[in-house]
């Protein structure tokens, strides 16, 4: 009976997250984190419902003990622990709003300090080398027909260029639909975090690549499939497929540096800033909800200026 109550609380928490417009991935991670937390408190002869009835100080002590175990025994990083704490904070807020507890301790749960590292970006020379060698992924595959190889080469080249020239997230890229592309105005409507729509701009060069890809795509997939990027199975491409593509190509081309889709997003923002774009414009193009998130790129730009400062020995 106790197990059923626990499941009901977690199910209600899941529906609460859905109502807040969180992404499917975030919801899945939050629910998984709460399940893991519940497994921990079960070892303390508690469950989520009984935990909510405890005094605030007792709850905070249990959370502190959980943090200690994650850090000392599980050897998890502060960043990884903070993700779990975010889920726990969200759960207690849900419990308070749902009147499952009389006090809201979500604001009393303190996040751990994490080092603020500058985003990684790749220089344009390495990026061009990365793109020019994209065919290496398919050339060695003897099982593929010439048509399929050509399709993959054009698609993969477009994916890399698309990520750089638009700055979109990989989760946004895989969900782009053809009917959301405005070829007249060179804009695309994308669905970002929290189901927030925004418009991104693409260059003439990218427009030509999109048209080249669409030309071969129409002979490969049914018209009813409206997703821009598709796999050889003629279904929407997944984020995992793109991550594997980048991993393979990084090993083949730039063995000392691993390029990821997120690196290209950082590169987009850094190049935009170094070329004179204002921070508010970059914020809108990246789909950041807060300007403070975008402002980290000003630090990247300062590093760029220092590297190119040539008056030290004058």
Exactly one of 84, 89, 90, 265 is catalytic; name it.
265
Exactly one of 83, 149, 177, 193 is catalytic; name it.
193
Q: What is the three-state SS of the chain?
A: CHHHHHHHHHHHHHHHHHHCCCCHHHHHHHHHHHHHHHHHHHCCCCCHHHHHCCCHHHHHHHHHHHHHHHHHHCCCCHHHHHHHHHHHHHHHHHHHHCCCCCCCCHHHCCCCCCCCCCCCCCCHHHHHHHHHCCCHHHHCCCCCCHHHHHHHHHHHHHHHHHHHHHCCCHHHHCCCEHHHEECCCCEEEEECHHHCEEEEECCHHHHHHHHHHHHHHCCCCCCCCCECCECCCCCECCHHHHHHHHHHHHHHHCCCCCCCHHHHHHHHHHHHHHCCCCHHHHHHHHCCCCHHHHCHHHHHHHHHHHHCCCCCCC
- 155 counts as catalytic: no
Exactly one of 89, 169, 266, 283 is catalytic; name it.
169
CB atoms closer than 10 angstroms to residue 229: 21
Token representation of residue 277: 């774009």
- 251 counts as catalytic: no
- 79 counts as catalytic: no
- 297 counts as catalytic: yes
Distance CA 196, CA 239 (A): 19
Distance CA 94, CA 104 (A): 9
Main-chain dihedrals φ then ψ at residue 112, nearest 5 degrees: -80, 150
Residue 95 contacts residue 101 (beta carbons within 8 Å): yes
Q: Which of the residues are catalytic?
A: 169, 193, 262, 265, 288, 297
């Amino acid at each position: 009976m106790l197990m059923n109550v626990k499941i009901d609380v977690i199910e209600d928490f899941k529906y609460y997250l859905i109502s807040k417009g969180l992404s499917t991935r975030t919801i899945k991670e939050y629910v998984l984190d709460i399940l893991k937390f519940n497994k921990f408190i079960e070892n303390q002869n508690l469950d989520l419902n009984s935990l909510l009835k405890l005094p605030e100080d007792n709850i905070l002590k249990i959370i502190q003990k959980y943090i200690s175990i994650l850090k000392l025994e599980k050897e998890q990083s502060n960043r990884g622990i903070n993700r779990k704490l975010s889920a726990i904070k969200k759960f207690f807020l849900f419990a308070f709003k749902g009147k499952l507890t009389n006090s809201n301790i979500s604001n009393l749960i303190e996040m751990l300090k994490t080092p603020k590292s500058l985003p990684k970006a790749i220089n344009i020379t390495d990026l061009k080398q990365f793109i020019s060698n994209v065919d290496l992924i398919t050339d060695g595959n003897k099982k593929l027909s010439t048509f399929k190889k050509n399709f993959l080469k054009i698609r993969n080249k477009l994916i890399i260029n698309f990520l750089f020239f638009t700055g979109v997230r990989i989760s946004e890229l895989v969900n782009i639909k053809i009917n959301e592309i405005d070829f007249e105005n060179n804009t695309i409507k994308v669905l970002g975090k929290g189901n927030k729509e925004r418009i991104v701009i693409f260059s003439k060069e990218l427009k030509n690549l999109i048209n080249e890809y669409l030309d071969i795509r129409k002979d490969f997939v049914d018209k009813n499939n409206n997703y821009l990027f598709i796999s050889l199975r003629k279904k929407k491409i997944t984020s995992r497929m793109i991550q594997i593509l980048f991993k393979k190509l990084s090993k083949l081309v730039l063995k000392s540096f691993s390029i990821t889709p997120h690196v290209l997003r950082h590169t987009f923002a850094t190049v935009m800033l170094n070329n004179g774009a204002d921070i508010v414009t970059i914020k809108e193009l990246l789909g950041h909800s807060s300007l403070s998130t975008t402002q980290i790129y000003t630090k990247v730009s300062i590093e760029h200026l220092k590297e190119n400062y040539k008056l030290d020995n004058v």
